[in-house]
Structure 1
Amino acid sequence: METSISHRAEELNALMRDRLGVKLGDGFEARLAKAGRRLPRWARRDGRVIAEALGMETHPKLAQQIDRARVDKALKNLRYFLMRQNPRLRVRNRVLDIITGIAFALFVTGALVLTVLVWRGLV
């Protein structure tokens, strides 16, 4: 028996929550919008294909027009991408980015202070 697109989209919903940290939003479309730039362009495109199929799935005549092969490929690709994401690594990289930004700001401030001291002849 084939599982429905909405059931598989709920699995992707849980993966986006757990792997990408997208906690807000009801439904797949809202979480996809909240994920935004955390997803590569091809994954956002696949997400739009899935969201379109979810809208068509509820209507009996439109459900017959869904390109199942394209939707299955989009579901598989997005699931593969989300499974490869490491939430710990994402948090570690964010902390390192903040530390790097602070260190750069301190370096620039020190260089400016030293330049002013040299310019005034105090050093």
Structure 2
Amino acid sequence: MDIAARTDRLAQLLEERLDVRGKGFDVKLRRAGRLLPRHLRMKGRMLADATARADHPRLLRQLDEAALDLAAADLERYLLSIDPWTRRKNIFLSWSAGLSFNLLLGAGLVFALLWYVRG
């Protein structure tokens, strides 16, 4: 599989699994940011640079195909291991837990203030 097809597949997985929008692999990788581990961000950056070089015939010969295939395989393996529904559920649960805590804390402060003013 050539580099353009691999990066298109990875861009599709970034959108499906991490809900990252954008045009092309480079933009989606940049927007994914800290959703990806550092070593995978670096491998993705290497793939994005290789995609830019692949348009030029002389620069294409300088690319290390084995390293690029390994980087694409690692990134694809990680993205396929992510369950988007579980990720969305966890985001919602952590948001609602924070909101509940803040509401309870606010209610407690209001009751403490009313008790102090009454007494």
Same fold by TM-score greater than 0.5 = yes
**CA–CA separation in structure 1 for the residues paired with 2:117 and 2:11:** 61
Equivalence for 1:74: 71
Aligned partners of 1:4 and 1:74: how far apart in 2?
13
User: Which of the numbers 85, 88, 94 marks the counterpart of 1:88?
Assistant: 85
Matches within 5 A, 1:45-84: 45-84=42-81
Could you say what secondary structure the match of 1:25 adopts?
A: coil
User: 1:119 — aligned with what?
Assistant: 116
Task: Report the equivalent of 1:19.
Answer: 17
The answer as to 2:52 corresponding to 1:41 is: no
Identical aligned pairs, as a percentage? Answer: 35
Could you tell me which amino acid in structure 1 is paired with residue 103 of structure 2? L
Matched, 1:4 2:2: yes
Match of 1:107 in 2: 104
Q: Which of 111-120 and 36-45 deviates more? A: 111-120
Supply the distance in 2 between the matched residues of 1:102 and 1:4 (Cα, whole angstroms): 47
Write out the 4+ residue segments of structure 1 that deviate beyond 3 Å after TM superposition: none
Counterpart in the other structure of 1:29 = 26
Q: Shift of residue 115 of structure 1? A: 2.2
Normalised by the size of structure 2, how large is the TM-score? 0.92
Q: Distance in 2 between matches of 1:33 and 1:72?
A: 20
Structure 1 residue 121: Cα displacement: 4.1
TM-score (ref. length: structure 1): 0.89
Total equivalences in the alignment: 119
